[in-house]
């Protein structure tokens, strides 16, 4: 039992970290675009970004299965080109966690960037810095605590993902069985001791992630108030 639990925890951490890595560039880009640009159709984009927050996770997972399954819209091309079937692998679990947690990450990044004084960015442009240089040298450093808070929030949400994961990745022991799926399986097997042990680990990891995110966000807000 101990070995299986350790394997489940390690897999969950790997999936969550991969989800954060997948989301990071898109959250930075999306948060920056929504915070600093006004364009036609912006409301449509904002709605699409936030859709995973309101859709049932199983719907999100089913959509991912249609797109990335072996015979899916993109999955069949990936399989033909690489021989790799993405569905029902730990990578599929990471993709599901990334999609479900993306709105939390992107919205936190957006708020962090919105709280950077645009006059500082304008000063950088006056000094002939291009948009990338302004973002890298001014916007990103000044919003880093808020972005880090979003990162921890994304990590915590990824650890708890269940519905989308079971649809696109399944519940395969040692392959895709993350902590929530393992708890579900143990409860169905009437193994309350094992389930409670994993529940305690889940609560600890989630609390630690949220605490770190809240601490960084409060530090960022206090600095902005000075």
Position 75 pLDDT exceeds 90: no
**Separation of alpha carbons 188 and 185, rounded Å:** 5
Average of per-residue pLDDT values in the chain: 90
Residues 6+ apart with CB under 8 A from 181: 162, 165, 166, 171
**Separation of alpha carbons 99 and 53, rounded Å:** 10
102-105 own/partner pairs: CB under 8 Å, 24+ apart = 102/23, 102/26, 102/27, 102/49, 102/52, 102/154, 103/49, 103/50, 103/51, 103/52, 103/53, 104/53, 104/150, 104/153, 104/154, 104/157, 105/20, 105/23, 105/24, 105/27, 105/150, 105/151, 105/153, 105/154
Segment 164-201, tens digit of pLDDT:
999 999 999 889 999 999 999 999 998 889 899 999 99
The model scores a pTM over 0.85? yes
Position 221 pLDDT exceeds 80: no
Phi, psi angle pair for 223, to nearest 5°: -65, -35
Radius of gyration over every alpha carbon of the chain, rounded to an integer in angstroms: 20
Closest CA to 58 of 155, 167, 206, 156: 167
Q: What is the mean pLDDT of residues 47-70?
A: 93
- Put residue 41 in one of left, alpha, beta given phi > 0 → left and psi -120 to 50 → alpha: left
Segment 108-165, tens digit of pLDDT:
999 999 988 889 888 888 888 888 888 889 899 988 888 999 999 999 999 999 999 9
């Amino acid at each position: 039992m101990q070995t299986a639990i350790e394997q489940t925890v390690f897999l969950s951490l790997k999936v969550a970290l991969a989800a954060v890595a997948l989301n990071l560039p898109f959250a930075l880009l999306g948060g920056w675009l929504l915070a600093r640009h006004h364009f036609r159709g912006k409301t449509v984009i904002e709605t699409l970004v936030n859709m995973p927050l309101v859709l049932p996770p199983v719907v999100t997972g089913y959509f991912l299965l249609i797109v990335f399954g072996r015979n899916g819209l993109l999955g069949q091309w990936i399989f033909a080109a690489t021989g790799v079937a993405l569905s029902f692998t730990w990578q599929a679990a990471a993709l599901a966690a990334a999609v479900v947690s993306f709105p939390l990450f992107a919205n936190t990044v957006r708020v962090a960037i919105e709280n950077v004084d645009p006059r500082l960015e304008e000063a950088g442009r006056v000094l002939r810095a291009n948009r990338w240089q302004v973002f890298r040298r001014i916007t990103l450093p000044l919003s880093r605590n808020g972005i880090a808070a979003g990162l921890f929030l994304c990590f915590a949400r990824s650890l708890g993902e269940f519905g989308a994961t079971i649809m696109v990745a399944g519940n395969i022991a040692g392959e895709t069985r993350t902590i929530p799926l393992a708890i579900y399986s143990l409860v169905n097997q009437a193994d309350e001791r094992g389930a409670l042990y994993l529940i305690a680990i889940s609560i600890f990891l989630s609390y630690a992630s949220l605490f770190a995110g809240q601490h960084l966000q409060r530090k960022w807000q206090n600095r902005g108030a000075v």
